[in-house]
Amino acid sequence: MVYALCFVLFVVGLYCALTKKNVVKIVIGLVIMEYGVNLFLVLLGYRREGIAPILDEKIGPLEFLARAVDPLPQALVVTSIVIGLGVTTLAIALCIRLYEKYGTFDITEIRRLKG
């Protein structure tokens, strides 16, 4: 159920990126898609009654092994969030430049290339 809703979030983003006419909306769609994937990865690693994968002196190693949530997806998601930030920054820069050139964010008017 949780997975399914997360997938729905992803699909909403995909819908936005594929159908919207405004370049900023398209970028927002890309960001929502990326949120969906990130959340899915972290959901994969969750353990019921889990604890964060950070050791301190109070907890024993065996208990930690049995109870900590999966650290690997979390590390992957840190990477993926930052990659998403990078791509979005570049996309925003392109949007600003497109606005400067065409005077609009509307993609139906940004259409000099054929086909």
Partner 1 sequence: MNGILFELLLPLLIAIPLGGAFLIALIARKVRVLADIFGNLATLAILIIAVMLFRERGVYSIGGWAPPLGISWVLDGLSNLMVVIIALVSFTATVFSTQYMEQYTAKYKYYSLFLLMVAGMNGVVLTGDMFNLFVFLEVASVASYALVAFGGRHEELEAAFKYLVLASIGSTLILFGIAFLYGATGYLNMGAIADAVSGAIASGQPSPLLVLAAVFFVVGFGVKAALVPFHPWLPDAHPSAPAPISAMLSGVLIKALGIYALARVFFNVLGMTPLLGWILIVVGALSMVVGVFLAVGQWDFKRLLAYHSISQMGYVILGIGLGGYVLAIGGNRQAATLAILGGVFHLANHSVFKSLLFLCSGSIEYRTGTRQLKEMGGLLEKMPVTRATCTIASLSIAGVPPFNGFWSKLIIVIAAFQAGFPWLAAITILVSFVTLLSFIKVLRYAFLGKLPDALKQIRESPALMALSLVILAVFCTGMGLILVPGFRQLILDPAVGALAQGVEYARGALAIAGGH
Partner 2 sequence: MVVEIYLLILLVFMIAGALIAVETKNLLSSVISLGAIGFGMSIAFLFLRAPDLAIVQIAVEVVLLVFLIRATIGRDVIPAHGHINWAGLAVVLVLMAGLVFFGVRAFGSLGVFGEPVIASIAEAPSNAYLAGGLEQTGSANIVTSVLLDYRAYDTLGEATVLFASILGALAVLRGRSWAKKRGKEQ
Partner 3 sequence: MKGMTVIVKTVTRWVKVFIFLFGAYIVITGHLGPGGGFAGGVIIACSYILLTLAFGKEFALQRLKVGAAHGLDSAGGLIFLLIALFGLGFGGTFFANFLQSRYPGLEFHLLSSGTIPLSNIAVGLKVASSLFLVFIIFSVLRIVVARDGSRSMVQEEEEE
Q: For residues 42 and 53, give the distance between their C-alpha atoms in angstroms, rounded to a whole number.
A: 12
Q: For residues 13 and 82, give the distance between their C-alpha atoms in angstroms, rounded to a whole number.
A: 18
- Given a contact cutoff of 8 angstroms between Cβ atoms, the answer to whether 31 and 8 are in contact is no
104: contact with partner 1 by CB under 8 A: no
Query: Which of the stretches 46-54, 58-66, 75-83 binds partner 1 when contact is defined by CB under 8 A?
Result: 75-83
> Which residue lies nearer to partner 3 by CB, 43 or 93?
93
47: contact with partner 2 by CB under 8 A: yes
User: Which of partner 1, partner 3, partner 2, none sits in contact with 59, Cβ below 5 to 8 A by type?
Assistant: none
> Which residue lies nearer to partner 2 by CB, 88 or 114?
88
Q: Which residue has the tokens 């979005």?
A: 88
104: contact with partner 2 by CB under 8 A: yes
Q: Name the DSSP letter for residue 81.
A: H
